[in-house]
Amino acid sequence: MIKVEGYSGKARATTITTEHGEIKTPIFMPVGTRASVKCMWQEDLYEMNAQIILGNTYHLYLRPGHELIEKVGGGLHGFMNWDKPILTDSGGFQVFSLSDINKITEEGVTFSSHIDGSKHLISPEKSMEIQKGLGSDIVMAFDECPKLPATKDTLRESMELTLRWAKRCIDYKLRDYQKLFGIVQGGLHKDLRTECMQRLEEMDFPGLALGGLSVGEKNEEMVDFLNDFVHTMPDQKPRYLMGVGKPLDILNGIRAGIDMFDCVLPTRNARNGQFLTHDGPLNIKNLRFREDTLPADPSCDCKVCKTYSRSYIRHLYTTGEFLAGNLITYHNLYFMIKMTQDARQAILDDRFDDYYKEFYNRYTSRKW
Ligand SMILES: CC(C)(C)OC(=O)NCc1c[nH]c2nc(N)[nH]c(=O)c12
Ligand SMILES: [Zn+2]
């Protein structure tokens, strides 16, 4: 259930209610694929005001198995001792990106485990069964995310399959708990996306996600598409842009009217030495930081930036100390969450455009 609290242009602020609490949007969701946000304690996530985290059907089904999670912890919340909302992705996308041997049939996706090569099938029903066992607050429909580039015919064919699978998810009787989000596919074709959304609307999902758009660099096409499409989505349903993104991608998504975001980059790139700062990304490996006594981001008030210097964190990173990953990850997640909190306040004050311009100019100032 969602309450729209205000608009600033197409950008909006909402409160989404789930079984494990409220989510104030716009929101960035840290990715905790295998029941852990890498390098973070759950306490760190509470401390930085993470409101909801992601888990993954594909990974948790393979290891340790949703039955074990249900048996040991009564679901993912008890298993990992996280008592706020959890969103689980449905597994299809991960099969395509992780298991190189996979076959798509009407039934579902058969694949060989990337861990031990064992054969498996994930169908819409199987995905719903797993997510039900995990006890997630927001369940994603089982979709097919076509590789790009793809012809319009291929995209239509894939979209039709995604719609047939969506129906099978809805018929699995999960929707009763108001927790199942449909996923709109269709590439960058507004007509396909609109048709897909309308046919999902006939099934009345409580929320809608946009899949197939976390494309890499050529994001001006994505931004143009979002500005043209998102405001045509139902006003009284959460809007989730899957797999997006870098700070500027997220601000572009917010400006177009998106509520929810997730991305692995802030945590993945942290482990590779990349700090997100108000003056743009900074790689701590860079020799220029060797004796730099400044914090990673002088404009950040997180506990990492209040305690450690660039020089020290560079030393940790270059010597392979685990603490480096912990510190950079904590700061990056804090940065992403704080950015969405500031964006939310700017929307409520109806000054989002000013906030966007100020953030954008400083972030692209190329200080290093
Ligand atoms: C890069 C390409 C275009 C191949 O995929 C995406 O952009 N995909 C975005 C994405 C991220 N996570 C998802 N989960 C599901 N169920 N479906 C999706 O489309 C996605
Ligand atoms: Zn910081």
The CB density around residue 346, as the number of other CB atoms within 10 Å, is 21
What ipTM was assigned to the predicted interfaces of this complex? 0.97
The pLDDT, as a whole number, for residue 243 is 97
Q: Which ligand is nearest to the CA of 335?
A: 2
Work out the percent of the chain whose per-residue pLDDT is above 70.
Answer: 98
Nearest CA, atom 20, ligand 1:
211
Q: Which ligand is nearest to the CA of 94?
A: 1
Q: What average pLDDT does the segment 338-347 reach?
A: 98
90 C-alpha vs ligand 1 centroid, how far in Å? 11
At 95, is the pLDDT very low, low, confident or very high (cuts 50, 70, 90)? confident
Nearest CA, atom 15, ligand 1:
93
The pLDDT, as a whole number, for residue 102 is 86
CA atoms of 182 and 13, how far apart (whole Å): 21
Q: Is the pLDDT of residue 101 over 80?
A: no
Q: What average pLDDT does the segment 166-170 reach?
A: 96
Low-confidence winner among 100-114, 169-183, 271-285 (lowest mean pLDDT): 169-183
Q: Is the pLDDT of residue 176 over 70?
A: no
The pLDDT, as a whole number, for residue 366 is 80
- The CA distances from residue 252 to 248, 331, 354, in Å, are 6, 22, 13
309 C-alpha vs ligand 2 centroid, how far in Å? 11
The model carries a pTM of 0.97
Work out the percent of the chain whose per-residue pLDDT is above 90.
Answer: 91
Which residues lie across from 55 on neighbouring strands? 88
Digit-coded pLDDT (tens) for 216-243? 667 899 999 999 999 999 999 999 999 9
The pLDDT, as a whole number, for residue 174 is 65
Q: What average pLDDT does the segment 307-328 reach?
A: 98
Mean pLDDT for all residues in the chain: 96
Q: Is the pLDDT of residue 92 over 90?
A: no
Q: Is the pLDDT of residue 177 over 60?
A: no
The pLDDT, as a whole number, for residue 216 is 67
Q: What average pLDDT does the segment 50-77 reach?
A: 98
Q: Which residues, chain by chain, have CB under 5 Å from ion ligand 2?
A: 300, 302, 304-305, 331
Q: Which residues are marked as active site? A: 89, 262
Structure tokens at 76: 């993912």
Q: Which helix (H) or strand (E) holds 21?
A: strand 21-25
CA atoms of 170 and 255, how far apart (whole Å): 30
Q: Is the pLDDT of residue 173 over 80?
A: no
Coil, helix or strand at residue 270: helix
Output the ligand 1 site: residues, CB below 6 A: 89-90, 92-93, 140, 143, 145, 147-148, 183, 211-215, 242-243
182 C-alpha vs ligand 1 centroid, how far in Å? 13
Atom of ligand 1 nearest to the CA of 214: 7
Q: Which helix (H) or strand (E) holds 192?
A: helix 190-203
Q: What average pLDDT does the segment 266-292 reach?
A: 98
286 C-alpha vs ligand 1 centroid, how far in Å? 32
Report the length, in residues, of the chain: 368
The pLDDT, as a whole number, for residue 141 is 97
Q: Which ligand is nearest to the CA of 243?
A: 1
The pLDDT, as a whole number, for residue 217 is 61
The pLDDT, as a whole number, for residue 148 is 86
CB 267 within 8 A of CB 329: yes
